[in-house]
Amino acid sequence: MNVVAGSLVVLAACTGVLGQSLESKDLMHRAVLDQEGKFVMLWTPRDEDIVIEVQVATKGYVGLGFSPNGGMRDADIVLGWVNGEGKVTLEDRFATGNSEPRKDKLQSVTLLSGFENDTHTVLRFSRPWATCDDEDFELSGDTVRVIWAFGKDDQIAWHEKRGTKSMYLQEPQFSLPTLGNDVKTWDLVSDNISLPDDLRTLYWCKLFKMPNITKKTQIIGFVHHTVLYECNLLIV
Ligand SMILES: *[C@@H]1O[C@H](CO)[C@@H](O)[C@H](O)[C@H]1NC(C)=O
Ligand SMILES: *[C@@H]1O[C@H](CO)[C@@H](O)[C@H](O)[C@H]1NC(C)=O
Ligand SMILES: *[C@@H]1O[C@H](CO)[C@@H](O)[C@H](O)[C@H]1NC(C)=O
């Protein structure tokens, strides 16, 4: 793998945790889980819980789960659907294998809103990070395998489509502040470094010449490090 490692001198501020209000239509993060853009997940991590919205191109049922390995076995699954009368159902379930997940004794998801239009089913719910229910998966700051599925109708027996994606749910929101005209950035770039595959950590040193600075200047921010994750797609 060839990676261009570098650091960019620029100010990045973290805006912290969003308020508890659910008024805001826009959730913090958005990810398309499938290749056709039919399954979209939006979410906002909060202190105690996570708010998730799924927007799925189906009028059938929708499932979103957290799985130890990307498969259905032992996955913690939220299943929901909107019936012909517009009644929304959302259930906290648990899969023991590749069969219809059964309902948890303790329901740990809270339906916030849901509807179905001519093309989509949209469900918004919250769920605590830790539910103290051993039929649930404890969500944390670790990367989690999210599994998704949806059906043609509200019969749960068959998936129309399904898949899995590794996601980092506690990702905070970063926003770049507007920088004044007097702010300059300086890119420090090391070209074309091959990372050896037998080393856990590679330190690469390089000397850079400072830009000419003629008056007193302050460094107001820098990128300390960036992290790249390698994800293995597990097809079951
Ligand atoms: C149904 O809702 C989805 C999600 O909000 C939206 O993208 C889509 O355009 C809507 N479709 C119609 C026909 O209104
Ligand atoms: C990058 O490094 C590799 C291996 O040292 C070399 O074969 C390749 O030509 C280099 N590419 C560039 C764009 O310098
Ligand atoms: C930076 O300053 C040095 C010394 O004054 C000068 O020789 C050099 O040409 C300057 N470089 C640039 C890019 O302005």
Q: What is the pLDDT of residues 38-79, one digit of tens each?
A: 999 999 999 999 999 999 999 999 999 999 888 889 999 999
Ligand 1 within 6 A of CB of 58: no
113 lines ligand 1 (CB under 6 A): no
Looking at the chain, the whole-number percentage of residues with pLDDT higher than 70 is: 86
> What's 198's DSSP letter?
T
Nearest to 39 by CA among 66, 64, 73: 64
- Three-state secondary-structure class, residue 130: coil
30 pLDDT higher than 80: yes
* Whole-number pLDDT of residue 206: 92
**pTM to 2 decimals?**
0.65
Q: How far apart are CA 209 and CA 200, in angstroms?
A: 29
CATH code matching the domain that covers 1-236, chosen among 2.60.40.1930, 3.40.50.970, 3.30.70.2390, 2.60.40.1210: 2.60.40.1210
Q: Nearest C-alpha to atom 2 of ligand 2 is from which residue?
A: 192
- Cα pseudo-dihedral 123, 128, 133, 135, rounded to 10: 40
Q: What per-residue string of b and e applies to 176-187 under the rule 16 or more CB within 10 Å gives b?
A: eeeeeeeeeeee
**Ligand 1: nearest atom to the Cα of 40:** 4
From the list 52, 12, 23, 55, the residue with the least C-alpha distance to 173 is: 12
